[in-house]
């Protein structure tokens, strides 16, 4: 039999605006929310919960008699409304942004204007919003798919220019029928112009969202050229003279009755004449569009103490419509981990995977909204929750879980902190002495590996064993450092000093990297703005670092053929948009890596021989900055220290003036833009020692190099032993002094072979360790399965189709630093990737975690990480040993992951 506690309802008798004002006024007193299983203090500055701080949150209400009702269920505790004796110790209204999808249509209409030569293209949208048409034109004879600006007479009133390639025209509101909103813009053009097509995308400035056609620009052809592209609209109509497609725009060849068509000078005139005589036909098309809008709602949480029952009564009141489920747990002690409370539970409560509870709130009769109450013991320190509306809609507090402090634990908590404070000094002395000893051991080992490298015969096994020993010692020292970080009371917050910087470029070891773009991201011209809207979302998924595309002016729109390094107006956006994006990521707790191309640079001028090797802009180098052994660009520098990239002049990093300018540029990027580190492109092209010089000067938080090399094959089949391949990557990391990580191309290659051929035995090397860089130097291995080169629309080395989640189950549970590709985040894999990231975070798996390979057979691979996580991939069978208390946490197509209870 259980006790039923009865409490008064907590209806918020105020408008939404007043709730919003109350929320703002109470901001300085608001309890800080935190991520699931976050181990830090839930209060700013590490403050502890005290009776005085509770008093600031809400004044106690007059005590009233308590009403109790017995329940016949042993597992159910119901809290109903009535007068009772309880003191309010916490009350807060949290604003919620509820996503609602609205369906509409984009209309495209091409019609004849005043005569046969003058036409109109109208683009409209039936959804409310601040719509803008981002558009440009393609001229006859243009090569490629780049946009150009149209003639001035085509540009609608109120439009603005975007650099030299596009126009932004606002859609204006018109009333088609009574009560129905419609937004439209019209572009006038003349068929005698040399315009071959109009290209556009639609942008909603309210949300920053872009709407494309099948993932690409809308293209409206005004002449007969290739019409089988996926993004062409109006394909059901034709042109009166040309019955079919005549090839790509860059290769239009118009037939003529006269032989003068073969003459180059007359070619364009004949084309223009043919085009003018073509019979353009009008059309009307509708394309469905779904817009996600955010609706304001709120949830009010209050906590009342009930001394008679030694319970905290937590009440939730929300105006959310429909069924609302509270996904919740409690915190015990100081470790902010989600735990299950003791029974009884409220009615309509279900257990979720033995890790959390789900309670359906009771809907209000005759009005919107719902409410619920929870009776929790005094010895609990916090109530944590998120709200679930449906399978795909979760509401939290600015990307983090809601956290509600409970009052009963505060006194014992303060007493414990006083007891601990007396031992801090002695403990710190012991830790310092012990870590100093570890540091001395590491120095001796480094000297050992240096002496090994000076020998004529290079002993890889000895070096490997030394590196492994360094890894163990570093992991041990870092664990001691993490455990020794004290919590500070409010009185001493001002005396906190930044921690001593141990190593630049290698991060904390707990990074999870997101590649924040793909090969097509430049096409909208506003990628920075688009990503700005997703910053909070990426943070809520658990990413700690984001890798942005190359920011500089570039010959290629993707950014990897840089020209003027100080010009940061690229096809991804302008410098102000980039600054705003970096600032936004910092606000949500994500570090930012800039993609810097240091190996090569495109020249702006030719030398006396007509070779492009003279540079312009602020860094106006001459051909002395170009390596001498690339015949394509006739440099006067020294020979290259790496492999040449023949598409652009390779920079000679041995020149002192070059290194000086690059170091100044990197420091300028950090100061001006706010980058926290670097992704270094094509580092195979120059010596890693130069990278060390650049990193020492720019002091990044994190840095990773792209050392891309071919794996070992015999008769077309990948070798099992890839030691030579990963050794070359490790050698480059060594050349940087260990100040940078490298992408683990070896691991990606081995995963390819293992999954494609069902040869999972490949995932263990001859010594029973992971076969990639992660098996030798895990803290410097950035594991990945796809990026903008291998996947996206390039697809140079695409991961085995349909098996991507097996790859993510591997890299997100293993040591090393995992990197997730943007395309996979916005795909159907999103929820599975999010679950794996959450599991990695709550089990504190890091780049130096230990791994024990349990199985590596033909059809199954299994491993145990840090004795806390077990995983398997492949169709074969594996279950972790029954001796430990394992529970299945995640499973998908041919992968499963367990964690200890």
Q: Which of 636, 643, 578 is nearest to 609 (CA)?
A: 636
For residue 810 the two structure tokens come to 């591997």
Give SS3 for 405. strand
Distance of CA 309 to the CA centre of its chain: 47
Q: Cβ(746)–Cβ(726) under 8 Å?
A: yes
Nearest 5°: the CA angle 395, 396, 398 is: 120
> Is 681 an annotated catalytic residue?
yes
Q: How far apart are CA 870 and CA 220, in angstroms?
A: 54
Q: How far apart are CA 235 and CA 287, in angstroms?
A: 14
For residue 418 the two structure tokens come to 């006083």
Q: How far apart are CA 748 and CA 729, in angstroms?
A: 13
Q: How far apart are CA 596 and CA 61, in angstroms?
A: 60
Q: How far apart are CA 106 and CA 108, in angstroms?
A: 7
- Rounded alpha-carbon distances, angstroms, from residue 312 to 306, 328, 329, 386, 853: 6, 15, 14, 19, 46
Report which secondary-structure segment, H or E, holds 189: strand 181-190
Pairing, β 356-360 against β 325-332: antiparallel
Q: Cβ(791)–Cβ(520) under 8 Å?
A: no
Q: Cβ(552)–Cβ(565) under 8 Å?
A: yes
Pairing, β 311-318 against β 370-377: antiparallel
The pair phi, psi for residue 383, each rounded to 5°, is -120, 120
Pairing, β 195-204 against β 209-211: antiparallel
Which member of 184, 317, 553, 681 is catalytic? Answer: 681
429: burial class by Cβ within 10 Å (0-12, 13-18, 19+)? exposed
Alpha helices per DSSP H over 588-722 = 656-672, 688-698
232: burial class by Cβ within 10 Å (0-12, 13-18, 19+)? middle
Q: Residue 431: which region, alpha, beta or left (left: phi > 0; alpha: psi -120 to 50)? A: alpha
Q: Which of 793, 291, 207, 171 is nearest to 529 (CA)?
A: 207
Q: Residue 674: which region, alpha, beta or left (left: phi > 0; alpha: psi -120 to 50)? A: left
Q: Cβ(860)–Cβ(844) under 8 Å?
A: no
Which member of 204, 520, 706, 723 is catalytic? Answer: 706
Q: Which residues contact 384 (CB under 8 A, 6 or more apart)?
A: 34, 36, 328, 329, 330, 331, 336, 338, 401, 402, 403, 404
Q: How many CA atoms lie within 13 A of 623 on its CB side?
A: 18
Q: Which of 374, 376, 372 is nearest to 324 (CA)?
A: 372
Nearest 5°: the CA angle 283, 284, 289 is: 145
> Is 706 an annotated catalytic residue?
yes
Which residues belong to the active site?
Answer: 681, 706
């Amino acid at each position: 039999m259980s006790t039923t506690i009865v409490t008064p309802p907590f209806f918020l008798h105020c408008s939404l605006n007043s709730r919003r004002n109350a929320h703002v006024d109470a901001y300085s007193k608001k309890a800080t929310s935190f991520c699931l299983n976050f181990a830090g203090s839930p209060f700013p500055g590490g403050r502890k919960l005290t009776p005085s701080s509770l008093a600031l949150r809400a004044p106690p209400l007059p005590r009233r008699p308590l009403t109790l009702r017995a329940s016949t269920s042993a597992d159910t505790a119901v809290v109903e409304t009535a007068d009772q004796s309880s003191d309010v110790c916490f009350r807060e209204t949290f604003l919620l942004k509820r996503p609602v999808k609205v369906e509409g249509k984009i209309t495209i209409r091409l019609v004849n204007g005043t005569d046969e030569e003058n036409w109109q293209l109208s683009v409209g949208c039936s959804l409310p919003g601040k719509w803008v048409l981002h558009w440009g034109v393609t001229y006859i004879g243009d090569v490629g798919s780049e946009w150009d600006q149209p003639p001035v007479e085509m540009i609608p009133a109120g439009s603005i220019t975007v650099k030299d390639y596009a126009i932004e025209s606002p859609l204006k509101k018109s009333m088609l029928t009574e009560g129905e909103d419609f937004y439209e813009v019209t572009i006038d053009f003349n068929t005698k112009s040399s315009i071959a097509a109009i290209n556009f995308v639609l942008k909603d400035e309210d949300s920053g969202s872009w709407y494309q056609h099948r993932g690409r620009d809308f293209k409206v052809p005004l002449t007969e050229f290739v019409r089988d592209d996926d993004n062409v609209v109006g394909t059901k109509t034709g042109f009166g003279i040309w019955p079919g497609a005549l090839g790509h725009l860059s290769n239009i060849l118009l037939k003529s009755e006269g032989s003068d068509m073969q003459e180059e000078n007359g070619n364009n005139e004949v084309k223009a004449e043919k085009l003018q005589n073509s019979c353009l036909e009008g059309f009307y098309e509708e394309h469905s569009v779904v817009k996600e809008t955010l609706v304001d709602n709120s949830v009010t949480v209050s906590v009342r103490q009930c001394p008679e029952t030694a319970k905290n009564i937590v009440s939730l009141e929300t105006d959310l419509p429909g069924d609302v489920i509270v996904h919740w747990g409690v915190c015990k002690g100081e470790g902010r981990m989600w735990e299950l409370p003791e029974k009884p539970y409220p009615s309509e409560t279900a257990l979720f995977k033995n890790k959390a509870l789900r309670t359906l709130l009771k809907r209000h009769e005759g009005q919107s909204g719902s409410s619920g109450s929870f009776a929790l013991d005094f010895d609990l320190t916090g109530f944590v929750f998120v709200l679930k509306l449906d399978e795909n809609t979760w509401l939290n507090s600015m990307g983090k879980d809601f956290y509600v402090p409970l009052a009963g634990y505060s006194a014992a908590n303060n007493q414990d902190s006083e007891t601990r404070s007396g031992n801090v000094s002695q403990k710190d002395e012991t830790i310092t002495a012990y870590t100093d000893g570890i540091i001395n051991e590491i120095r001796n080992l480094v000297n050992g590996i240096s002496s090994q490298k000076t020998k004529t015969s290079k002993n890889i096994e000895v070096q490997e064993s030394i590196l492994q020993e360094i890894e163990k010692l570093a992991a041990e020292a870092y664990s001691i450092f993490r455990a020794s970080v004290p919590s500070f009371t409010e009185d001493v917050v001002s005396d906190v000093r930044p921690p001593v910087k141990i190593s630049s470029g290698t991060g904390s070891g707990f990074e999870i990297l997101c590649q924040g773009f793909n090969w097509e991201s430049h096409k909208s011209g506003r990628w920075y703005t688009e990503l700005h809207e997703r910053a909070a979302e990426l943070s809520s998924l658990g990413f700690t670092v984001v890798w942005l595309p190359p920011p500089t002016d570039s010959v290629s729109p993707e950014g990897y053929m840089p020209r003027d390094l100080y010009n940061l107006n690229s096809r991804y956006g302008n410098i102000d948009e980039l600054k705003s994006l970096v600032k936004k990521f910092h606000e949500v707790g994500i570090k930012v890596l800039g993609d810097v191309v240091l190996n090569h640079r495109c020249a702006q001028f030719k030398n006396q021989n007509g070779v492009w090797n003279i540079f312009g802009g602020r860094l106006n180098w001459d051909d002395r900055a170009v390596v001498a052994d690339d015949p394509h660009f006739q440099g006067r520098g020294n020979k290259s220290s790496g492999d040449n990239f023949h598409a652009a002049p390779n920079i000679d990093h041995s020149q002192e003036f070059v290194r000086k300018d690059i170091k100044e540029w990197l420091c300028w990027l950090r100061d001006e833009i706010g980058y926290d580190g670097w992704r270094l492109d094509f580092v195979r092209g120059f010596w890693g020692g130069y990278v060390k010089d650049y990193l020492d000067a720019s002091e990044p938080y994190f840095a990773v190099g792209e050392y891309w090399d071919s794996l070992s094959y015999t008769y077309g089949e990948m070798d099992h032993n890839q030691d030579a391949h990963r050794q070359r990557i490790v050698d480059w990391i060594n050349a940087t002094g260990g100040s940078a990580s490298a992408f683990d191309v070896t691991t990606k290659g081995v995963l390819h072979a293992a999954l494609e051929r069902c040869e999972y035995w490949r995932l263990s090397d001859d010594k029973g360790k992971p076969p990639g860089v992660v098996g030798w130097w895990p803290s410097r291995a950035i594991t990945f399965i796809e990026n903008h080169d291998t996947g996206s629309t390039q697809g140079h080395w695409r991961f085995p189709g349909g098996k991507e989640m097996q790859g993510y189950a591997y890299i997100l549970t293993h040591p090393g630093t995992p990197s997730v590709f943007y395309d996979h985040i916005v795909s159907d894999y999103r929820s599975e990737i999010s679950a794996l990231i959450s599991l990695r975070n709550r089990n504190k798996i890091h780049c130096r975690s230990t791994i024990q390979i349990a199985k590596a057979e033909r059809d199954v691979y299994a491993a145990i990480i840090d004795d806390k996580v077990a995983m398997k991939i492949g169709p074969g069978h594996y279950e972790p040993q029954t001796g430990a208390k394992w529970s299945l946490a995640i499973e998908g197509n041919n992968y499963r992951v367990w964690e200890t209870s």
